[in-house]
Amino acid sequence: MRVTISSEEECPVPRVLIATTNAHKIEELGVLLMQVGCEFVVPRDLGLDDFDVDETGSTLLENAILKAVSFARKAGLPALADDSGLEVDALGGEPGVRSKRYAGPDATDADRVSLIVSKLAGVAERARTARFRTVLAFATPDAVIGTGSGSVEGRIGLEPFGAHGFGYDPIFLVGGHRPTMAELTPAEKNAISHRSRAVQAIRPVLDTWVASQPPTASSPDLSSLRSPIGSPLDPRASQGG
C-alpha cells in the first residue's frame, strides 16, 4: 500500500483517506488493506495532521461514522475511520467507547493499563472476561457507504506482558490465556485481531465501491509530504489496541 503519490504519475484507482492520526492504527490498517484496490493516503499527506474530531458518540459505531464523515468532508475524499475499545465484563463493559480517555486526557498506555489492573484487583480469573472490538465506517463527503465490525474474546491478565502492539494489548490474554496480544508478532496479531475482522467485514463494501468508480486521470502533488508510518509515536496517541 502506498501512502504518497506524485503529480507525474497517473492514478488509475480511487483515492481513500485512512481517517486517523494514530500511527499504530495506520500501520496495522496499512497491512490489512493491502489487497484493496485503492490509493490510500493518510492525514499528514493532506496537511491534516492537526485535524481532530470530537468523539461525542455514545457507541463505537457512532464515533466511527462521525470520524469518517468529518474527515471525508474536510479532505474532499472518501474516508475510512476506525473506533476501537476494550470491553471488560467485570467493569460493566468499561472502558468501551471511552478506552482512549479512560485514565484522563493526558494518560499514556501504561497509565490506562495500570488503571484496569487496579480496578480488577481481587477479581477471580474466570470473571476477568473481556473483548476488543473495532468498528470501521466508510463514507464519502455526502454519505455513509457502509460499516463493519469485529471482535476478539479473551481475559484480562494480572500484569502486563509483551512489547508489541499498543493500548491495552499487554494485559489482554487472547482466548483467556498467554500469550497476551502484545506478545504476538504483528503478523500473528493481524491474523486474529478485532481490527482484522472488522476489515474483513467491511471489505465487500470497499470492493463494491471501488468497482463502481471511474479511473482517476491525475492526482495532486503530494511528493514533498511524508507518511507518518515509522515516525516517532506519541504515547498519548494510542487507543484500544
Chain CA centroid to CA 29, Å: 7
ω into 179 cis (within 30 of 0): yes
**What distances in angstroms separate CA 178 from CA 86, 161, 174, 240, one per listed residue?**
18, 9, 7, 19
Point out the residues that are catalytic: 83
Query: Measured between alpha carbons, how far is 23 from 106 in angstroms, rounded to an integer?
Result: 17
**What distances in angstroms separate CA 134 from CA 97, 194, 195, one per listed residue?**
10, 6, 6
C-alpha cell at 181: 496480544
Place of cell 467491511: 202
